[in-house]
Amino acid sequence: MAPTPSKSNKQRASKQQSLTSFFSPKSSSNANAQPAPSSQDAPAASNIPSSPCLPVRKRHRSEISHNGNGSPDKPVKKPKKTGGSSVIARTITDDDDDDKKNENEDAQTIGPEPLPEAENAFLPTPAGTCSGAEGPPSLGPRPEYFASNSNHDVYFSSMTPEECEERIARHEKYVKKLGNPNSTVALGRGRGWGWRSLKTPENNGGDEGEDEEEAEEEDERPGKKGAAKKGPASKKLTPMLQQYLEIKRKHMDAILLVEVGYRFQFFGEDARTASKALGLMCISGRLRYDDGNIFFSIFIFILFPISRVKLLETNISLLLLLDPSEAHIDRNKFAKASIPVFRVNVHLKRLINAGYKVGLVRQVETAALKKSGDNRNAPFERRLTNLYTKGTCVEDIDEDDVRSSSTTNFGGTAGGYLLCLFETPVKGSLGADEKANVGMIAVQPSTGDIIYDAFEDGFMRSEIETRLLHISPCEFLLVGHMTKATEKLLQHLSGTDSNVFGDQTRIERVSTDSKPETLVSTASSHVTQFYADKAQANSTDGTLQNLLNAVLRLPPPIKVCLSAMITHLTEYGLEHVFDLTKNFTPFSQRTHMLLNGTTLESLEIYRNATDNKEQGSLMWALDKTMTRFGRRLLRKWIGRPLLDYEALIERTDAVEELFKSRGLPHLVQLESLLFATRIDLERSLIRLYYGKCKPKELLALLQTLQRISMEYESIASPEQTGYTSPLLRKAVLSFSGIRDSVTMFLDKINLKAALEDDMLNFLREEEHTNRMQEHQCGIVSVEAGLAEQKDSIASALRSKNPINFVTVSGIEYLVEVANSEVSRVPASWIKISGTKKVARFHTPQVIRLISERDRHKEALAAACNDAFKDLLAEIATFYQIYRDVVTSLASLDCLLSLSKVAAQSGYVRATLLPPSDSPSVHIRNGCHPIAHHTLPTGYIPFNTALGATSPPSSAEPVLTHLITGPNMGGKSSFVRAVALLIILAQIGSFVPATSATLTLLDSIYTRMGARDNLFAGESTFMVEMSETASILRAAGPRSLVILDELGRGTSTHDGAALAQAVLHHVATTTRCLTLFITHYQNLARVADALSPAVKNVHMRFAAHTNADGEEEITFLYEVAEGMAHRSYGLNVARLARVPQRVLAVAQTKSTELETDIRKRHLAAAARALVALVNSPGGDEYRNSEEDNALNYLVRSIEEL
């Protein structure tokens, strides 16, 4: 007889068998079959009596026994729905409603009715235990029956009754969800896929748990208990999320930061974006409210008809999620990231600098006011209070020093211009030569500056490029459809993180389907109505009416841009910037030289050409300013040199006077004043005008203005200023006129409260309004009532000692009672906290009084805020006066900066010739203004003389220098230095030279470097020729033209021919001052033919042979007359460390080519000599052919 296995071995075998069978696939053919017993267990198996748990027949799910003895008399009891029940319990209770519909059909007791054989049966209820069932979801048409399998009986026999009940409930859930044709929909909804458009019975119940975090934030739920549910999506959203979604639908293009308690939170897609940009942890969840849109699934269902059931059932997550990587996340919750309130400015600034549009959603009501109002059971009201982009951020969240980073000003060195563009194609220009009429308005909300222009641009869009490089916008607003050429230009200039504007530029578009004529008419009406409303509201202010008249005279494209800009800035509350009359400035003025975009880049005016940083640029070399607004003004001066002779002389005189006044008391006073001006007065003033200034900032602004006015309060006449320059006198005299108004406003402010940003006590007591006094009296009355409560509290406690309130953890008016005397405390008192020795209580009267006091405090805060806004509006009436003072101070800062540059060694004041003189530039011992300070060995000075001589003579002036020389000999540096010295002289600065005499030039054009334009589909040579064509069309007699190695992008013959033709044109037709760099030796013939208008000069060098027999070059970096016949390119290759083997081959080939060319020249010279010798004598035979042969012979001998 086989030994009976022990109990432990049986249990181990049962568990092993159950685990194996549980994960093994089941087939319908053997679903009801018992597993074959082993020989070891056969006797035991044969003695098992028949029991109800064996799969004798199929049973309805309502017949499952839960009493542990196999009795078929009791149906399944489902858990009741309670407030603290689990998700599964609530779900099963919801499903009871559906069961009632079939209660006439479902048997309540066991019956012998036969069931179809095709159905699987699974009824694991061993005697003495309570079993449950869980299996894979069935896809059959009648999934209301449990499948029975004896392999699972053993597995479930080891479970406790609670585990069995839980698994039965879970299985019933699956059966319920999969028991109808919409099973996939129900399963998708159960995972949080938001099937909002389906109205099936399963959708009405909902089986998902509440978002734990949402329940933490706000527990209020709309609707009454037992009310009909509208669907899972609306049922699951908390009131706070409903508020968020309502705001989000209006601002889909913005990242929203929602204030929730002491944190700001991001939700959905915003959370993932902020997580990547800020390095925050993002809690996974739904990214969009409409995740799992049914129409998307229907589209996939139709598109892929093969294996539809498998596609929908097994790959449901791939269908319903836009991103397959999100299939694992909890779809019942929104994705979420959060930051603390005190760090919001830091993260806000980073998001804005990254180019995002960011909105702040704040709680606009407090707990006390909400509790006393009619909406006490509603969630906190939240509103979008602030909206920011790079171009519209005027808040004081960017107070870092402007020199610390090129992007601190939201837009790099430009300070954050928002630029609006509108263009219409010119009639008759199509294809590659498409021209456009362009309107432009650039607004700098942080300073109030407005620049406008209207112009016609060619297919290269060089005019747009010039304005963009000057303005350096941080954000674009594009109206209507842009042409392909403009789109490519914008992408080229602003499409990368490191571009000519400093960082990536944000682009917004205003789409319109209207025709240009209709759009212009609508824009004109809008602009007229905008200014008419303002003029009507301020009937006493005539400036608005004058501004309206000026705006109506603007060209139509500018009106379209102005209308779009007004609409755009209204969303940010910044439309008042267009009220400022003096801020409208045309871009193109005949009083300033216009440097185009190519010139700005070639001469490195604002940024160096290496890494687009400011260091190494002309701006970097001249910037000695001490204020931020002074630095911005200096940037404008550098980019727009003066053409007004009288204004330039006046500015240069002021610089020279400041330079000579070093160490004098009045100059020391000015330097001290500028150094003490630490805040950005220009930006603080515009924030005050917008009503966005804070108390501490307002105090600093007024105190700085007061200090400026008091420094010069004793000055009543120009002679008392200590200066002789009219420009300096005018600036200083403007300071004292603001003293009275500034003092008046400062007298209304409580200094201590303003320093602490205390809005409640910001105004002095005598300036308080009636509302403020009313609530202050209410607070005093309540606090007196709280003090009177001490006697009643002592009486209630039967205490002879006086009662004193205590404050613990910020909770005020607590009554401390010893634990031994707690029995005396009335039952109506509320215990707040306690320790081992004492307990702390609030009485009902104290709670009522504290609530009343909090209401008064919050109403007082609102009244104080209104009073502060009224004060800002009153100060804003003096905006233009204060702005003029700041402009004068900025001018003094720029002039003082230029005087510091003049104090450097080697700088001299340039002599400016009157406009009536012929164009000329004469520089002696000039230096490059940037390289002069950066090169460790110093800069080798140069001499140059272009144009008319001084004094004037009858000889024809030299207009063009044809510059040759070896590679790396300093040719490009020389021509850049000449152009930069001219710019310095025309902004009023001293120049690094022994002497400089010049007339005013109206433009500088450059064609330097080699680059292609992939965005426009242009090759390097195409870009070169396009820029050259623009120069030839625009240059005039008073222009300086710089051409560097023109024609090198094509074959030698074509390039030399083009270079020769262009040189001939600028020397004879345009007759402008020209610096022409070339390596083509045959251009010397053109120079000789055009002499003296064209003069050959070269960069000197010394050639010698080293010990290895290699020719070496020493660069002397000096400009000398004559032409260099070799470029010594192999020497540069050697310096670049090209492999010696390559250099040897190159040297051999170069020698062979030179020998061959030399032989050809000798043969040609010999033929010319023979022709001259054999020609008959006499004057009658000396024709033009002989003269040409003689000239050719002479040139050949010179070259050899």
Cα separation of 847 and 830, whole Å? 9
Which 3 state secondary structure label does DSSP give 1018?
Answer: strand
What is the reported pLDDT for 912?
Answer: 94
- The dihedral of CA 687, 692, 694, 699: what is its sign? positive
- What 3-state class would DSSP assign to 199? coil
Report pLDDT for 583: 75
Give the per-residue pLDDT at 207. Answer: 37
Longest dimension (CA), the chain: 150
The structural architecture, per CATH, of the domain 628-754+879-902 is: Orthogonal Bundle (1.10)
Average pLDDT over residues 150-164: 58
d(CA 398, CA 683): 11
pLDDT at residue 985, as a whole number:
96
* Beta-ladder partners of 453: 440
| Angle (CA) 890 891 897, round 5° | 90
Instruction: Give the range among 305-309, 930-934, 977-981, 1147-1151 with minimum mean pLDDT.
Output: 305-309
Which tens digits make up the pLDDT trace of 754-798? 998 888 888 888 888 888 889 989 999 999 999 999 989 998 988
Query: What are 7-48's pLDDT values in tens digits?
Result: 444 444 444 444 333 334 444 444 344 444 444 444 444 344
Domain 201-220+229-388 fold is MutS, DNA mismatch repair protein, domain I (3.40.1170)
- What is the spatial distance between Cα 297 and Cα 303, in angstroms, rounded to a whole number? 10
Tokens of 1101: 């060098």
pTM of structure: 0.68
Three-state SS for 608-635 is CCCCCCCCCCHHHHHCCCCCHHHHHHHH
Nearest C-alpha neighbor of 438 from the set 402, 476, 483: 483
d(CA 208, CA 563): 50
Out of 256-265, 297-306, 352-361, 548-557, pick the least confident.
Answer: 297-306
Q: How far apart are CA 918 and CA 949, in angstroms?
A: 9
H-helix or E-strand containing 1188? Answer: helix 1184-1199
Say which range, 428-432, 475-479, 645-649, 696-700, has the weakest mean pLDDT: 428-432
More confident residue, 1178 or 271: 271
Whole-number Å distance between alpha carbons of 30 and 256: 59
Tokens of 1058: 């083009």
Is 490 a residue whose pLDDT tops 70? yes
DSSP codes, 209-255: PPPHHHHHH----SS-TTPPP--HHHHH--HHHHHHHHHHHH-TTSE
Task: Report how far residue 796's alpha carbon sits from residue 270's, in angstroms, rounded to the nearest whole number.
Answer: 56
Provide the terminal-to-terminal Cα distance of the chain, rounded to the nearest Å: 124
C-alpha 912, offset from chain centre: 45
Question: In this model, does residue 928 exceed pLDDT 90?
Answer: yes
Cis peptide preceding 915, ω within 30 of 0: no
The pair phi, psi for residue 715, each rounded to 5°, is: -90, 120
907-1138, superfamily in CATH?
Answer: P-loop containing nucleotide triphosphate hydrolases (3.40.50.300)
**DSSP-assigned beta bridge partners for residue 817:** 839
**Are 152 and 124 within 8 A, CB to CB?**
yes
Averaged pLDDT for residues 181-188 = 44
Pick the CATH number of 412-588 from 3.40.50.970, 3.30.420.110, 3.30.450.40, 3.40.50.261: 3.30.420.110
